[in-house]
Structure formats: structure tokens, C-alpha cells
Copies of this chain bind each other. A is one copy, B any other.
Amino acid sequence: MRPHKHPPASEFVLERVLYALSDTIRLGIVQHLARVDAAACGDLDGGRPKSTVSHHFKVLREAGLVWTENTGTTHMNRLRRADMDSRFPGLLAAILRQSGASDS
């Protein structure tokens, strides 16, 4: 399995982050990851088809929100909170604190 690509924080783009979080499923994944240290894709897919979930994780990784590591046959995902905070201070917290947001 090839390792996933993750942009460095210096290459995060605000519009891309906002786009990644503009989808209910992806926002739910990020909200879930904000509450745990790491989670396998299977814990985050909500029973959705693998191809759909793979696409959402790709969008989240490319925006810089999620770091995925392959450990054996499992993909473990972490929220890149420190990187996001260093590039866009206060942004992630402001989005995650909105109570109207849907949850995973």
C-alpha cells in the first residue's frame, strides 16, 4: 500500500480547508477525529461505501486536515490540529464549536 500524500502546513490553502469542511460527511469525520487521538477509516465511514469514504478522506488529506497512516492493513487517521492552528490560527476551533454543525 503506498503512503498517502500530506501537504506541509505552509501549503495549506484557506479555500481548500473551507471546501473540505463544507460537506456534512467530511465535517462529521473531522468532528469525530477532534474527540479522539486517532481512528481507523472503518470507525468513521458510517457504513458508507468504501469508494465514497476514500474520496472524502482524500479531500480532507489534501486540505491538510487529516493525516492517514497505513499500519498493516488498517488506515489510521488523525486530525492535524497543530498544523492547522499554526497556519490558520483559531479557524478550526471556530468551526468545530458551532453547535448547529452535524455530527458523526
Q: What residues of chain A have their CB less than 8 Å away from a CB belonging to chain B?
A: 12-16, 18-19, 21-24, 27, 87-91, 93-95, 97-98, 100-102
Contacts and interface: CB of A to CB of B under 8 A. Distances in A.
A91 B98 contact: yes
A99 to B, nearest CB: 9
A44 B97 CA distance: 31
Nearest to A10: B100
A65 to B, nearest CB: 12
B100 A91 contact: no
A23 to B, nearest CB: 6
Contact of A27 (B14, B90, B102): B14
A13 B97 CA distance: 14
